[in-house]
Chain A
Amino acid sequence: MQEGRVLPAKEINRDLLRSILTTPNWYWVTVAVMAIIVLGAMSAAGLMINRGMGMTGLNRPVMWGFFIVNFVFWIGISHAGVMLSAILRLSKAEWRRPATRAAEVLTVFSLMTAVMMPLIHTGRPWRLVYWVYTLPFVPYDFARGIWPNIRSPLVWDPSAIFTYLTSSILFVMVALIPDMAVLRDRTTGIRHQAYALMAMGWQGTPRQWKLQIISGILLSALILPVFVSVHSIVSWDFGMAVAVKSWHSTIFAPYFVVGAVHSGVSAVVFVMILLRWIYGWENYIRHEHIDALGRLLIVVATGWFYFFVMEVIFGFYGREADEIAVREFQFTQPPWNLWFIFFTGLTYFLPVSLWLFKWTRRNLWIMSIACISVNIGMWLERFLIIVPGLAQKQMFTFTWYTYAPSAVEITIIGGTFAMVTLLMLLFSKVLPLIPLYDIKEGDMLKTEIKIGRATVPAVFRED
């Protein structure tokens, strides 16, 4: 049984469209600040592309650094959308309703941000045409008989990511159609025309509803294998590298997928708490939702922790001297061991102990702290996977070195966070971040009527 009262449809429309139909003062200030940070990061990237990759802190043994760490991080965040939306829709979890849209939109925007990272990382993004042939509007130059190398994980990557991006955009759009129609009916002028175009003639007829529901469920089921494949393939960027001892591991695929869900769902919880606060959606994003997500996160975090421990054990189990040397380097030598302690504490021990009690799960401040801590920890996790194995403990000691990020790299990383925030803010100005029809449907299922002495649900859902 859900908490909270049943709201009239009018009130739902008024509350959830508030972000679109009115503009508070803080909104433009925040947008401006974020846009300035993004512009700063773009200038930094421009400077780097102009001068060369020497502007970064990368060097000969450490050829991959902050950009790839950030790429994996944002791909990880993007896994929240499907986890919350598709899995919970298929399993008919009622409490998913206010969370789905924000999660899906976060998926799309973080994927877009993630895709930019490898292009910035290569230093000459116009060479994209040789690499990302999967884009339909980029013709691949087959005329000279030169083909992409399908053995390379870096060719699997764009294939998986663009499939995921396409399907998650489709997923969001299908769910948006009824809400577009609501907006079409409440706006005038050019906005009305734009919403009318996007609503694609939605009238709310039973046939349209049926098609919309079926396509939503179909897309949920179809997107799940893509969801699992994306981070598996990203993990194979590392798993397939024979020469880097701490990367060359078979457990990376499930480990990365669960880690992605861990950081992604945490990010969604934080975004929901923010939305509740800034738009005053106390009636929609309720404590019970945060509570349920907190309980889900305990399971996900513990699953992730299992794979993390297993990954370490597999490393030692092989008894390969080089691999053990890298592990020893990660666990015992400063500053890596300090980062390692931070990472395990922030990713598992601190947040999970905060999620264990009902009163902590229902305290929004504590939940925010736990979810931010998970994301800092998961960022560190990717850093600790990628850099130490490259930096040292190769078989020839002559090339050992270390890595420190440059100001350009840090600026660009900061810019990606500002960019996702900016895109989310702009989206909230144009389209509702909580699905109106889904909330109404949930309320409908919640309504009870009295028949004689018995209280029964007013509506039964066909299964």
Chain B
Amino acid sequence: MMRNKADNKNIKAALTIATAALLGGNSTVSAETVNSTDDSAWEFDSAFLFYSEADRVSASEAIFNAKKTFEDDEVLNLKLTVDALTGASANGAVAQPNVQTFTRPSGNGQYDVAPGDTPLDDTFRDTRVQINGQWTQTVADDLTASGGVHLSKEYDYLSLGINGNLAIDFDRKNTTFSLGFSYFQDTFTPEGGIPKPFASMLIGDSSDPGWDEEFAKTRIGSEDDKTTTDILLGITQVINRRMIMQFNYSYSMVDGYLTDPFKIMTVVDNDGLAQDYVYESRPDSRVKQSFYAQSLYHFDTTVLDVSYRYMWDDWEITSHTIDSRFRIPLSDSFGTESYLQPHFRFYQQGAADFYRPFMMENDPKPAFASADYRIGEMTAYTLGIKYGRLINNGHELSFRLEYYRQTPTDAGFDEPGVLKEVELYPSIDAIIAQVTYSF
């Protein structure tokens, strides 16, 4: 036990030096000086998550978070996130009774989809690195200010963001009003460029000499961008010794390129047979609003955490989210504390006004259209369990295992001919597994 304790301290000391060096602080700081200062000044969280959909995408994500609390309760938080994604993703087209051939988003090569199968593009592969920094401090009695920066980089995507938050305490700190603001600037440089809205997907031999020229006619540029501005208003209220509540209102404006350049739609005839595949097109602005309420209640030993969110936007999407966790401490054994925490989440959304699972050949062309099931009508739920164990020095090790199921539903679209025979709204099942170590 003593050896373990010493090892843990050394790891923490080494990480403290490494973090200080990264911050550009005095890199000659020695292990002795770190050990002699307050050992609780730095807190580290590390986590690894694995997400896997049956027959589709799988993702691995690692987070490392370092938090330092200074003498005047100033808090510096630094977070590094790395994730990798591989696998197949729905391209937006509908299943057909025959083999279908599609061109990859890059324009280099084709892929075939078997009869009756939902068309999936299996070329998705991406690695992302994200860095966040946040500084929080008291600026006056009962007034706390916080500011942060965000950077996220993928092969084909760059996101830069800033945020600020002010919180004012009232009534013996039982009531807190907060006002937050965040701004993101994102640039998308998809491989193969930005497709022309509603242009037909070019299908043929990509090694043909005239291919590149023909493919370029379906493109309007190499990159595009979008900005996101969020305003968040919140109230936190202590109800009594056992209960605390929070209410938030948020307003979010997104402007710019909101289309998914990898998504297409099937154009069918009156028999439901595919005649063409066209690139989707979404409006270049979206205003989202939401109301969020959360309540925590401490029973004798257990804690119940329940939240509800209602979201609505000017694409006519509305959604309800209920998220709940129940923490059950397990009886102390050998001086260690542990808990179990079941998790249940329910989500239901309505479709965007321009969502449609496919287009009819003879219908007039709409201003906007997308067959992306993620903006269609859908119900989803998550069932999970977390086991956490406090080990020596206040370190915590936890495991989380969850099952997530998405069930897209029919919002009342007619299904001509062969489309009655195929699955237009396939469900998606995913497993989420996570290990977290805090020290």
To the question of whether A and B form a pair in one complex, the answer is no
Q: Which B residues are closer than 8 A to A by beta carbons?
A: none
Q: Which A residues are closer than 8 A to B by beta carbons?
A: none
